Amino acid sequence: MQLVLKAIGNAGLAAASLAPALSSCAALKSRPVEIRLAAVQAFRRVPCSAGNAILVQLYQATSEDVEIRIAAYYVAMKCPNEELFKQVQKTLLKETSSQVGSFVWSHLSQLLETDDPLKEHLRDSIPDEILSKDFDWETWKYSSYSDVTFHS
């Protein structure tokens, strides 16, 4: 099942019609976490127009597994828009998980400081006030995101 979900993720545009099935698979708590994670990650190349509302729902659900929440946030950020930033900011303000909060906070911090020309559009679209709450930066203790760009 994980290989099938990975193949769907690799299909990209061709997999757009499978977005509802991926959403169902990702949302089913009766499925193993590994399968649900693969379903979330399968959205990575699915066009934004296919819809990714389930990703935002999974990210915001504090009762969800931390890995699923982090993956859902990260994949949802492949299709950034003003509404997503509002939802992320709202969720970050009331975040109770240091793992999720630290990852999201470090990801957004890195994006705001990036000099990667491929991420300029994302950096410029992030509202300045999105990081109104600090999270622990102890990378050996909590989840975090690191972004490195090499210019040659």
Same domain, 17 and 51: yes
CA distance 67 to 74: 11
pLDDT category at 135 given cuts 50, 70, 90 is low
Question: What number is the average pLDDT over the span 91-104?
Answer: 90
Domain range spanning residue 1?
1-79
Three-state DSSP class for residue 49? helix
Contact of 143 with 70, CB cutoff 8 Å: yes
CA distance 144 to 100: 9
Same domain, 119 and 133: yes
CA distance 96 to 26: 22
Q: Tell me the pLDDT of the chain averaged across its residues.
A: 88
pLDDT tens digits, one per residue of 55-89: 999 999 999 999 999 999 999 999 988 899 999 99
Q: What is the pTM of this model?
A: 0.87
Same domain, 46 and 8: yes
CA distance 122 to 111: 7
The tokens describing 66, both together, are 């931390």
Q: Specify the number of domains making up the chain.
A: 2
Q: Which residue has the higher pLDDT, 134 or 96?
A: 96
Phi-psi region of 12 (alpha: psi -120 to 50; beta: other; left: phi over 0): left
Helices 19-27 and 53-60, axial angle in degrees (round to 10): 10
Same domain, 75 and 89: no
Same domain, 19 and 30: yes
Q: Which residue has the higher pLDDT, 30 or 121?
A: 30
Question: What number is the average pLDDT over the span 2-22?
Answer: 92
Same domain, 97 and 108: yes
Q: Count how many Cα atoms sit within 13 Å of the Cα of residue 27 in the half-sphere of its side chain.
A: 13
Residue 141 has pLDDT above 80, yes or no: no
Residue 42 has pLDDT above 90, yes or no: yes
- Domain C-terminal end among 79, 95, 118: 79
